[in-house]
Structure 1
């Protein structure tokens, strides 16, 4: 069963909650190298670690999203012969380049896979690729868990 599609919005900074704005500050401190550890950065801006982890993968400055090319997908698959091959073929056919694959040993007929892919050469948009992946019979769940440049 497919999960509802996540929608993305462009929101002005002054509309964001305090915790969201502080999460962006923490991410900036960490990315710039001014702070090395999450604990130090959240303490500096006055944010709890739990709030940081709640928002860190869901909020990004607009300029960074425009240049994002590498994404990480988390998938749950039914353990069936040919399933991984179908998934990888679909991704390759989209024009994306698979960078890393991590697969758990299937337990109770299910396998968890994490894929990092470069989307810079994709022929379609990411949402379209996600819908196609969800359309594969053996795919139970697909989530975008991270992105980077």
Structure 2
């Protein structure tokens, strides 16, 4: 029977240098800064064997706020550009649109549900709602979920 893997959260300064550099290589690869493992390990001065030894064993504990999400419910008038204006506004405030669902418009009204990453937003959620409600064609904007 395979033993269940146990994880520990430790401060960066107590990690051996090879583990710390392995994390850096993984981050460089994820961001597309390098094309190959060889290129990445050379830049951080880590052996390939050390990288392959630790790559499946060390991970970064991201900031807890990095994954903060809200779910918005919007009622919009069904006219050209309204949804686009709302989405561009959210993006301009630093929100990241994760999902968006729109029902078939009925009676010139469209119902939208959108999940938005808010960790990088430069305004509060309340201020975002206030701004959205000021756009022509936005009849309702409310938060229906947090995670």
Partner SS state of residue 81, structure 1: coil
CA deviation after TM superposition for structure 1 residue 141, in Å: 0.7
Count of equivalent residues:
83
Matches of residues 21-100 of structure 1 in structure 2 within 5 Å? 67=65, 69-100=68-99
CA deviation after TM superposition for structure 1 residue 124, in Å: 1.1
Distance 1:147 1:125 in 2: 14
5+ residue gaps, structure 2: 1-63
CA deviation after TM superposition for structure 1 residue 142, in Å: 1.0
Partner SS state of residue 111, structure 2: strand
1:67-112 CA distance string (max 9 Å, x none): 5710000010000001111010000000010000000111100000
TM superposition score normalised by structure 1:
0.54
Distance 1:97 1:143 in 2: 17
Larger Rg: 2
CA deviation after TM superposition for structure 1 residue 147, in Å: 0.7
Q: Which runs of 4+ in 1 moved over 6 A?
A: none
Distance 2:68 2:131 in 1: 19
TM superposition score normalised by structure 2:
0.54
CA deviation after TM superposition for structure 1 residue 127, in Å: 0.8
5+ residue gaps, structure 1: 1-65
